[in-house]
Every structure is written in C-alpha cells, then in structure tokens.
Chain A
Amino acid sequence: MAYDVEILRLSPFALFDLKGAAEALEDWAPELSGLPGDPNALARNGEVLHCHVGPQHWLLRAPLEEENRLDAALRPNTAPPEISLVRVSDTLTFFRLTGPDAGEVLSIGCPLDLLPGVFGDTAVSFTELFGLKALVLRCAGGFEIAVEQSYGDMIADYLARATV
C-alpha cells in the first residue's frame, strides 16, 4: 500500500539535556524560564523547544547555529550539583513526516495514540518506534521523530520500506 507522506531527514539541532527541579534550572539560566510543567508537554519559543520528557527532565532543542550561544548561556561546566545540563546535540537524529498519512505511517511502528485529541500540538513524548526508543512531537502538517543518532540510517530504511 502506498502512503501519501513525505519523509525528510533533518539536519542536526542544538540539543541540551536538562535535569533537576524546574526552579533550580530557571534560577541558574534565565534562558530556561518557562519550562513546561505538565508531563510530556512542550513549550515553543520561536524555533526553540523546551520538552518535558521525564520527571525533572527536559530536552531543549534549538537551531544548530544557537549551540555556542546556548552553551555560553547555560554554562554546563560550572552548574551546581543539584542540576545537570549536558550538550547532547550529537545524540539524536530527527525525521519529519508530513502529509495526510503521516499519522498512519507512524502508527505502523509506534504504540502511542496519536489522534489530536490525545496527542495535541503541545504534546511530546519518548515512546517506541520500530522497537527503538524515540521522541515524537507534532509539527505543521505532521510529526517529527527522533532516534539515537546511530539508528538514523536504519530508521530511514524502515520508514522507506514501510511506505512503499
């Protein structure tokens, strides 16, 4: 069966893994103000995303050009012990699936209920995709997913085979 979907492998983003209490993170770096409090929720500020992916755990995604500026603003190396800020830009590969069948294609390999009433515009979550841990969020016209960088080629292949 052919699906009406466009699959695009995205170029790398600046990514920072943030752990600790939200207040402590925001106190340390005003850059982080407005971290979403609801589980598996994301806050968008232009192209910068703050994703609440676990208890006291956020993922910050920004355009790669912002990496050095963010590194200077977040000062990971001098952070107090109760919080952790780690640059992880190299660890995840993102794909964008857009088109009428984007949800159908994703649901081949992902057990999440992706209907808009359950998984809306501000939803983000780590889940499973073709047996791998994967991040899923919505974008205009579809979904973005991310897997560990080393699985990028494999997932590109799986998606291509699934949509033939």
Chain B
Amino acid sequence: MMNIPCPFCGARNESEFAYGGPVKPDRPDPNAVPDEDWTAYLTRVPNPLGPVQERWHHVRGCGTWLTIWRDTRTHDIVEGPSDAG
C-alpha cells in the first residue's frame, strides 16, 4: 500500500484514491508534427522503469486531483527528475 500525500488532507492510504493515469506529454498539433510523433502521442503510454509522473484523485476523501512521481521499481513516491516540467 502507498501513502499518498494529498495537498489538502496530508498523507492518506492509497485505497482512498483513484488512479488517474500517467501524465502524458503536451498534445502536439497533429498538422504540425510528423505522423509518427502524432501516433506516438496517441498510443504510447509512459511506462518507464523508474520514476513516472502520475495523476491521482482523492475520490474517497476531499476530491482533490494531485500529481506525484512514483518509482515503478519500488512504489516509492519520489522527487521528480530535476529537468521535469
């Protein structure tokens, strides 16, 4: 079980949250990028071995949406890479 930090409630049990999926890169303009990049945006889900940025919804709590970095190897909630947006 993860203890997920909610900005309103503080650390709460994972079971109070709903997973909102990984944060995707910004949507490119399909007319301005090659088809390959557009297809990649549509179909590739970020799934790194290591830190991944994710959205979680405190659905059984205060209702806040939040963003964390989770290390897929350990489930630890970690600092994001320094060059991350």
What separation, in Å, do the CA atoms of A32 and B15 have in the docked complex? 33
Q: Out of B9, B15, B59, B64, name the residue touching A125 (CB < 8 Å).
A: B9
Chain A nearest Cβ from B16, distance in angstroms: 5
Main secondary structure of the interface of B (DSSP, over half): loop
Instruction: Let me know if B61 and A111 touch, CB within 8 A.
Output: no
B-side contacts of A131, CB under 8 Å: 15
Chain B nearest Cβ from A18, distance in angstroms: 14
Instruction: Let me know if A133 and B62 touch, CB within 8 A.
Output: no
CB of B63 closer than 8 Å to a CB of A? yes
* Interface size in chain A (residues, C-beta < 8 A): 16
Within residues 17 to 56 of chain A, which ones have a CB less than 8 A from any CB in chain B?
39-40, 53-55
Instruction: Let me know if A111 and B12 touch, CB within 8 A.
Output: yes
**Chain B residues in the interface with A (C-beta under 8 A):** 8-10, 12-13, 15-16, 59-64
